[in-house]
Amino acid sequence: MKAHYHLPGLFEFYEFYKIFLPIYYNHPDWFYDWCDIGSIYGAPADCIWGGGRTGFGQSGIEKEVYTLCRDSGISARLTFSNSLIEKNHLDDKKCNELCRLFERNQKKIKNGIIIHSDLLLNYLKSEYPDFYFISSTTKCITDFSDLNKELERPEFCYVVPDFRLNKDFQNLSALPQNLKNKVEFLSNECCWVECGQRKQCYENVSLKSLGLECPEHKCAAPGNEKGYVFSKAMESPAFISLEDIQKTYMPMGFSNFKIEGRSLGSALLLEFILYYMTKPDAQLKVREEIYLDNTLDLF
């Protein structure tokens, strides 16, 4: 068994991956052999089907992104997790063009779509049957019986539960292996575990993606004014550490781990990759290949 990491920023961090992926493939000895890149996910900023975190992905580089993933042998996932899709949104030209592009040449590596709306799911299954589908964490599935029902849906190859189910080991361990294979844990979430507005936050993003007027969502989580802090995420009771993956989740039969971060900077993405995938004695080498040299000043 290998751990498969699903990394953020398909469009948001294209320039980063253009540099990093050759390093990853040319220096396999720098990275743990028990894990790999399962996919890279994201969406351009102007996709009305987008959800979760939007407004950051570059537009106009769709063909370049497709080519990079195809040539690297990595599954690309389009994040189409808008929860408020209506029938009149299904013929959106931009989103359909993206689907036509990323559905091509999927004989060896299939591309996927992260999705929330069943209306959109049924449309995509009919129009673009070569994709595989991932049930989005934006559904905020926090009840384990609901998660079990979602895992049993044949439409989905993977299901990303709410991060607050990450440590429900009694129920997780009881899942049959075929359903364990479909669970994809959101591993590095920084959101407050006591947050009661997560679903409203995602709906606010969906409204903005559709170009609709809506009040700005104000997060009430303690310390939110600092934004995402990796060290803070590590202190969360729902955080899944490198050691957790190796010593708990993989022995239990789980192998899929989603790393969030589309709305963050590429420096943090690099830290996630160094932490989860890179051998300690090679972390400096990766930094040196990407940006670090002996003339670099921090200030």
Mean pLDDT of successive 10-residue stretches along the chain, which has 299 residues: 95 95 97 97 88 61 94 95 90 94 83 95 96 93 95 97 95 98 93 63 65 62 71 92 97 97 89 97 96 86
Q: Quote the tokens at residue 243.
A: 């050691």
Quote the pLDDT of residue 63: 94
pTM to 2 decimal places: 0.91
Tokens of 123: 């449309």
Nearest Cα neighbor of 152 from 124, 130, 181, 187 is: 181
Q: Per the structure block, which two tokens stand in for 2? A: 């290998």
Q: How far apart are CA 131 and CA 99, in angstroms?
A: 9
Given this model, what pLDDT does residue 53 score? 56
Going across the sheet that includes 3-8, the strands are 158-159, 132-135, 112-115, 75-80, 35-42, 3-8, 256-258, 184-186
Cα–Cα distance, 290 to 293 (Å, whole number): 9
Q: How far apart, in whole angstroms, are the C-alpha atoms of residue 239 and residue 230?
A: 10
Contact (CB, 8 A) for 92 and 49: yes
CB burial class (10 A; 0-12, 13-18, 19+) of residue 294?
exposed
Nearest alpha carbon to residue 278 among 7, 15, 69, 13:
7
Nearest to 54 by CA among 216, 262, 261, 200: 262
Burial 105-137 (b: 16+ CB within 10 A, else e): ebeeeebbbbbbbeebbebbeeebeebbbbbbb
Confidence (pLDDT) at 264: 85
pLDDT in the model for residue 180: 98
**Helix 283-290, helix 266-277: angle, nearest 10:** 150
How many Å apart are CA 76 and CA 102, to the nearest integer? 8
The answer to whether residues 37 and 74 touch, using CB atoms and an 8 Å cutoff, is yes
Other C-beta atoms closer than 10 Å to the C-beta of 288 total 11
